[in-house]
Amino acid sequence: MIRAIGLYIFFLYFYIEYWGKVKFNGFTVIYTFKGSSICLGEGILINSSFLSNLLGLYQRTIIVARYGGKITIGNNCGISGSTIYSMEEITIGNNVIIGGNCKIVDNDFHPLDCYKRNPQSINDIGKKKIIIGDGCFIGANSIVLKGTELGYNCVVGAGSVVCGKFPDNVIIAGNPAKVIKQNSQKDKTELL
């Protein structure tokens, strides 16, 4: 009960801080730990209510930066019931749509070496920044892993597991995600 009240207070803090810049549909968890930062652009729509996205959301939207993590989300983005969790750096460009139930994480959460997991140190957790370019669309139930770089106007097929660097104007899909075709070539100024 105390945890729920605390999360609601944080929700109200961010709701007031981003009033007029971000539209919240439902209770969204946004949490910044000491030494970390979250920067949200204007015109963002964050869906967290189970009826705000009729695709079906399994969770509320959760945006967390900790252990020095930095999250920057550009203007006119849409996020539905997804988790964005940073311990390093996640940069999301303008006009990006993140479909329902996606996960974007720039870290492993735990050390990969079994002998370092218990007790674990933050220094043993693998971290690499993520860059998602302007105009990208991340399909529902996709996972974007540490070290990923998506160029301008990339489309990620639903349910993909993405890790690696991808050029502008491609459609990627699968586990692991790979380029399956070129997207239509558009001038960047059309989306900006």
Q: Where are the alpha helices (DSSP H) in the chain?
A: 2-17
* Residue 103, domain member (yes or no): yes
Task: Report the CATH number that the domain containing residue 40 is assigned in CATH.
Answer: 2.160.10.10
Q: Contact at 8 Å (CB) between 94 and 77?
A: yes
- Percentage of residues in the chain having pLDDT higher than 70: 84
Query: Element (H or E) spanning 88, and its range?
Result: none
pLDDT tens string 162-186 = 999 999 999 999 999 999 999 876 6
From CA 100, how far away is CA 45, in angstroms rounded? 13
* Residue 189, domain member (yes or no): no
Instruction: Please list the active-site residues.
Output: 110
Domain ranges, residue 125:
2-183
What is the model's pTM? Answer: 0.84
pLDDT tens string 23-39 = 888 888 888 899 999 99
* Residue 149, domain member (yes or no): yes
3-state class of 43 per DSSP? coil
> pLDDT category, 110, cuts 50, 70, 90?
confident
The reported pLDDT for the residue numbered 8 is 64
Whether pLDDT at 118 is above 70: yes
